[in-house]
Amino acid sequence: MMSLSLKNYGIFNSYNNYQLTPYELQNIILDKKMGVETKSGVIAVKTGLFTGRSPEDRFIVKDSITEKKIWWNDKFNKSFDPKKFDFLYQKIVKYLSDKTLYIRDGYLCSDKRYQLNVRSISEYPWSDLFIHNLFFRFSKNIKSIFPDWLLFCAPGFQSNPLNDGTRKKNFSILNFSKKIILIGGSGYPGEIKKSIFSVLNFILPTYKNVFPMHCSANVGKYKKDTALFFGLSGTGKTTISNDINRNLIGDDEHGWTFDNVIFNFEGGCYAKIFDISSEKEPMIYHSIKKGAMLENVIIKKETREVDFSDDSITQNMRISYPIYFVKNIEKKLFSSNIKNIFFLTYDAFGILPPVAKLTKNQSFYYFLLGYTSKVAGTEINIKEKPIATFSSCFGAPFMPLHPIQYTNMLMNKLNNTKINVWMINTGLTPEGGRIKLNDTRKIVKNALDGFLSKVPYEIYPIFNFKIPKFCPGISSKILNPINLWKNKKTYKKRIETLAKKFINHFNIYRKYTKENILSGGPILG
């Protein structure tokens, strides 16, 4: 077992475990009683108070690099004082001293032109296991690397908001000058993933001319056509892109290069598994094996089997696993030949149709606004009913630059191309139930296979996008929501109310946008 000194980081007298294997980490987790092993041999942990992200506690140090580039706001991109950061850093390294720590060198970005080396220093062994599963892993022949960034993960450390400049005792802070991430007070591993995603979302467009995207991606096995699936957690990115007939590039975070290569940021997957089954999501289900890590699941005492339907801890129960666990993976984890883009939207009002084909201007408009709903568990305080929201670029909490900058990158990618852009509603029907997953899969398959380009369309009122009159394998009745609304007056009121939400939210961006983007929105008479 190789060790690595941390004295140059200000951490002293610690016992340092470097590059432990998943099996070594699993044994340590069990020995420390920080997790339990399921019947199938998978380790399961509980992440404590936090079972979802806390986006309001993500900060960025405001300095000469970031001051004029970040889209500062009080919701996601909160500024942090450099001196406060230095003070907090010293407190954290002192806290980590004299402890058993877990160090890992990994990297991000499957396209080696953009590789970002990251050294993580974790207080908990299961944080290190998560990083092993989600980051790309160096060859065993490489003893150590020079890190581009450092990541400190100290769930047991709590800040003092009055003295340290944080909002609460938990925090995630990015420092682009010192290339350091500090995470404390929360054991939810999603904070690790989204912090490094935020770093790439700043670096790649600012310095590398790469369009970073909160999307999953797959490629056809025979036609080699690439499809992108944008959407917030819970809208179906992972589920729908895991298609047995296509090869997965990645399930969450990708870059689109100047020469039209789509590449995965990560070396693993982080999937919601509430109510999962081999029938519903076979590819994810069959990745639940030793080496993976389960979060916040309920295990039956008698059999040690996982009850995936028991959400007494959270609906945001998750699994992390290396991407090579996926059977039909695109081995290089990058591709080109982009043919279809899907915006996955969870409409909580039963108004939007299950599928609509968007014009280019509508594509820019809906990408900029990112209409969807926050689904139970993915963030703290989202516990029961979905909450309608707008998340610009379908990933506002992870986008440090102004949303119009990412939208302009999408415009540059789509102009002068024949890429199809679709809005897919995975939310609620007028009856109140969720649109059936099998129906969504069939719709996406017909779009990918080109059948939806051959059917007749009609214009959906107010929103003015095209919806198909026919889709193979789908009841034509569900393609237009008005068919399912018994009370047409209520429908008219609801569609107008939703349109007003779009129009009012667009006012935030109006002064930054061109007329063509505005023309893509709904129009009230």
Active site positions, annotated: 53, 194, 214, 233, 237-238, 252, 318
Question: What does the alpha-carbon distance between residue 245 and residue 221 come to, in Å, rounded to a whole number?
Answer: 7
Name beta bridge partners: 78: 59
Q: What is the 3-state secondary structure (H, E, C) of 78-116?
A: EEECHHHHHHHHHHHHHHHCCCEEEEEEEEECCCHHHCE
Contacts of 27 (CB under 8 A, 6+ apart): none
Closest to 155 (Cα-Cα) out of 79, 96, 105, 77: 96
Contacts of 125 (CB under 8 A, 6+ apart): 17, 20, 25, 28, 29, 32, 34, 102
Percent composition of the chain: helix, strand, coil (DSSP 3-state, to 5): 30, 25, 45
Strands 116-122 and 15-18, bridge-based pairing:
unpaired
Q: Is 76 helix (H, G, I), strand (E, B) or coil?
A: coil
The DSSP letter of residue 460 is P
Name beta bridge partners: 182: 152, 173
Name beta bridge partners: 152: 121, 182
Strands 35-37 and 43-45, bridge-based pairing:
antiparallel
Q: Is 475 helix (H, G, I), strand (E, B) or coil?
A: coil
Closest to 106 (Cα-Cα) out of 145, 69, 159, 49: 145
Closest to 192 (Cα-Cα) out of 104, 301, 279: 104
Which residue has tokens 């802070």? Answer: 173
Question: What does the alpha-carbon distance between residue 358 and residue 474 come to, in Å, rounded to a whole number?
Answer: 20
